[in-house]
Amino acid sequence: MSKARKLTFEEIFAARPTVDEVKNMPRTPLVAVVENIRSMHNVGSIFRSSDGAGIGHLYLTGYTAVPPRPEIEKTALGATDSVPWSYHKNAAEVVSRLKGQGYEIVVVEQTTESKPFFKTEYSFPLCLIMGNEVDGVSGELVAMADKAVDIPMLGVKHSLNVSVAYGIVLYGILAKYL
């Protein structure tokens, strides 16, 4: 039998940095571009996963909702204050600028060239692109990408919720960085 015990809320909270401390901590060499995310709950969840991974910046683009919104905060749980973020109408302009700064552009999308995210080698700094819940990433951004990755689907459904997929792929990439 294991000698492990569950940490108390107090123990977890005591080990957690404050928002001000996080703002001064080094961030991972990962940024994310989210394009036309319809659900504000998905946006909030993406903020929360971004906080956990310590990403460098979250770019909200197109018609993606931006904070402050109660629907975003419900799932972000304060991560909108700890994750550097900005809004840009045109995602392609953001991706073009990041590409010019040496970021590897990785799109999460089912394409003719997609590889499973866990069988892919990555270069850093890296930009991860996620797309709309129904239409996915636009063809324009797919064409700009250096790599396309996907999550193998073994059931009837061919995709996961965008915020779930983001968390899975983000942490898969982070595991290769750490």
Query: How many whole angstroms separate alpha carbon 174 and alpha carbon 170?
Result: 6
Q: How many residues does the chain have?
A: 178
Per-residue pLDDT of the chain (178 residues; tens, 9 = 90+): 689 999 999 999 898 999 899 888 999 999 999 999 999 999 999 999 999 999 999 999 999 999 999 999 999 999 999 999 999 999 999 999 999 999 999 999 999 999 999 999 999 999 999 999 999 999 999 999 999 999 999 999 999 999 999 999 999 999 999 9
State how many domains the chain has.
1
Whether residue 5 is contained in a domain is answered as: no
pLDDT at 15: 87
Whether residue 6 is contained in a domain is answered as: no
Element (H, E) at 126: strand 126-130
Domain span at residue 114 reads 15-177
Q: What is the CA radius of gyration of the chain?
A: 17
For residue 120, give the CATH number of its domain: 3.40.1280.10
| Helices 40-53/162-177 angle, 10° precision | 10
Q: Are 69 and 95 in contact (CB under 8 A)?
A: no
